[in-house]
Structure 1
Amino acid sequence: MTTHEREITEPVDLCLPGGRLNPAAVGWTRRPLHRTGLRGWGRAKRWEYWGIVTPGHVIGLVASSLDYAGVHGVYVLDRATGQETVRDAVVPFARGATLGAFGSAHVRGGGLSIDIDGSSIRATAPGVEVDVTVPLPPGHESLGVVVPWSTRRFQYTVKDLGRPAHGTLRLGSAEHTVDGFAVLDHGRGKWPYSIRWNWAAGCAPGRAIQLGGKWTDGTGSTENAVFVDGRLHKLGADLTWTYDRRDWLRPWRITGAGVDVTFHPFHERVARTNLLVVANETHQCFGHFTGWAALDDGSRVDLDGLTGWAEEAYNRW
């Protein structure tokens, strides 16, 4: 086996009645099993992020409640021209945001709306409309992980990679067909005030790779996995990320037990927010993967040709 972490196979509460982390919730799952009733205010963070990749475009949709603010966004990259369309909204105290159980989010504010209902995703903003379905194929598995910093600080994340994505994208008066794949980052937790993380996700027909770093290091939990034909193979080692902060478009290396990946960027997206109490800086690069990752039986899967992204994010929130 490629991980020492405990697999959870039955539904479990993320929190104890008083709001602290339930020790029985620490582990990983192949499908969403955690009930995420967060209590309290000030450190609770909730979000849904969908990244959609097609031959012509990359689409990013985020709906979030950070307690102090709702931070929502619609992002579109034209892969042929490099032109970015960015529509962001910051709503004080996350008014107009409802982030419920897994697969449900509805946010409004700043001229932007996002509605996520299971496999249906709709978003509208000035000059942009997204209407996409992301059906769940039979037997398709996702990675759920609880990361425990302490009994008061913890995060539940679900990374769901390689869902088929079909629908339409409207930019101004032009309508584009969406026919590609989608990746979900579902998050519920209580975070430290200042944190830095890495995230990489790449997909191709029948294969996908999900890798994380920095924020999970030393916790005993990781968000690393490789997927083959929808089947999850958990990777349990902390990884080493090597990249150039002076030139984000140089190749990235991600290595560790069971993983040897090189990421080759073709575009860098930079996002910054500074609202004094809440601040963020993210460098998200889109590109292609080469390398390999180990499966449960010790064999290796070739990752050459996967498309996706790698990022570094710093949050003060």
Structure 2
Amino acid sequence: MKTLIKKRKKLCCENGNLNLETIGYEKYPHIISNLKGIRKKRFNFWTVKNDIFLFSIAIVDVDYTGKGILFFYDRVRKEYFEEVIEVPFAKNFKLSEFVYGNSSMKKGEYQISNEYIRNNAILKADTKKFKVDIEVKYPENVESLNLIVPWNNKKFHFTSKQNCLPAMGRINIEGRIYSFHIKNTLASFDYGRGIWPYKTFWNWASFSGFKDGEKFGINLGYGWTKGSGVNENCVFYDNKMYKLNDEVEFIYDKLDKEVIIKSSEVDIVFKTEYIREEKTNVVVLKSNLKQAIGSFSGIIKFKNKEIEFKDIFGIIEEHKARW
């Protein structure tokens, strides 16, 4: 897998096919996601968490439909809140072609937005249940995983995985206020733009936390990159991104119990605390997404380091789709 030249490149050629010069990965986002045609998949998925609360906010456009998604879990009180706003054909959705561009969705009085002001990302929502105002700060020269997945020249995906970003702000859920303080709160961002195969399956795991005072996170995936020659597996440590070489295996019976993630570099156990399920069935689009919220413990090896960790809060996904 090659590392890309650090200058902006367009994801697509004029005919809509993959620009072969973009294949590979880099530590900073420079791709312009100029997708063309139909069956495009575009999403911004943010997670903001401390040791007690986990909040996710997403804007998703899959051409046939669009969704604004918000969910919040309190692991002490075992309370969960969710709101999903569905919009046919993603009307009034605006998703940026560049990672650090502004994105938004609107349906009537409901609004969700991700905006960038200097080195900060501002996450806002005003819906029936949620009032959100969160600021995510980007440390200077912070690294991320920016990856092109090339199934073929007509089916491909660009993803930017950004973990361990300091955040602060507050969320009002039906009159109850939850505050996030920058000393113990970290955000992660999953930016995706692509044109996918019709049938898709994936497992995905992500967390951001602290280990011995340093910011520490992972991004691990299985399934959706199969046959492409690349993987999305990496470690985030002290504002640096370290690419992992091997494929990982997700071993489990049901996602609502225990998941083991293994490779020569990874030995992790995930214990589920709460599981949410989201289903879509719109003629040509059928999707079943399960997201487990819980804790990660285990060992990761990278760059002559071996880190053992325990009880870091995060998310695992299982997604089956025809889209």
TM-score (norm: length of structure 2) = 0.91
The one-letter amino acid paired with 1:295 is F
Q: CA deviation at 1:110?
A: 6.1
Instruction: State the distance in 2 between where 1:57 and 1:251 align.
Output: 21
Q: 1:169 matched to which residue of 2?
A: 171
Give yes or no for contact 2:67–2:87 (8 Å, CA) kept in 1.
yes
Given the alignment of the two structures, is residue 257 of structure 1 paired with residue 264 of structure 2, yes or no?
A: yes
% identity of equivalent residues: 28
Q: Choose from 81, 97, 102 the match for 2:99.
A: 102
Give the drift of 1:111: 4.9
Trace 1:1-317 onto structure 2 (pairs within 5 A). Answer: 5-11=1-7, 12-41=9-38, 43-100=39-96, 101-103=98-100, 104-109=102-107, 111-118=109-116, 119-179=121-181, 180-205=185-210, 206-245=215-254, 248-296=255-303, 298-317=304-323
- Distance across 2 between alignment mates of 1:316 and 1:112: 28
Distance 1:315 1:51 in 2: 22
Give unpaired runs (5+ residues) of structure 2.
none
C-alpha distance in 1, partners of 2:109/2:290?
25
Q: Which residue identity lines up with residue 190 of structure 2 in the other structure?
A: D
Distance in 1 between residues matched to 2:270 and 2:287, nearest whole Å:
23
* C-alpha distance after superposition, 1:1-60 (max 9, x if no partner): xxxx2111322221122111111111111111111111112x211110101113332211
Ranges of 4+ aligned residues in structure 1 off by more than 6 Å: none
- Structure 1 segments unaligned to the other structure (5+ residues): none
CA displacement 1:84-127 (0-9 Å, x = unmatched): 22211221111100001223211012653111012111012112
1:187 alignment partner AA: G
Kept in 1, the 8 Å contact 2:51–2:313? The answer is no
| Contact kept? 2:83, 2:129, Cα under 8 Å | no
Are the structure 2 counterparts of residues 126 and 27 from structure 1 closer, same or farther at C-alpha, using a change threshold of 3 Å?
same
How many Å separate the matches in 2 of 1:269 and 1:28? Answer: 31
For residues 234-284 of structure 1, give each alpha carbon's deviation from its aligned partner in whole angstroms, at most 9, with x where no partner exists: 012221110112xx2322111113222111221112222222322221111
Q: Residues 215 and 53 of structure 1: is their aligned pair in 2 closer, same or farther, counting only changes over 3 Å?
A: same
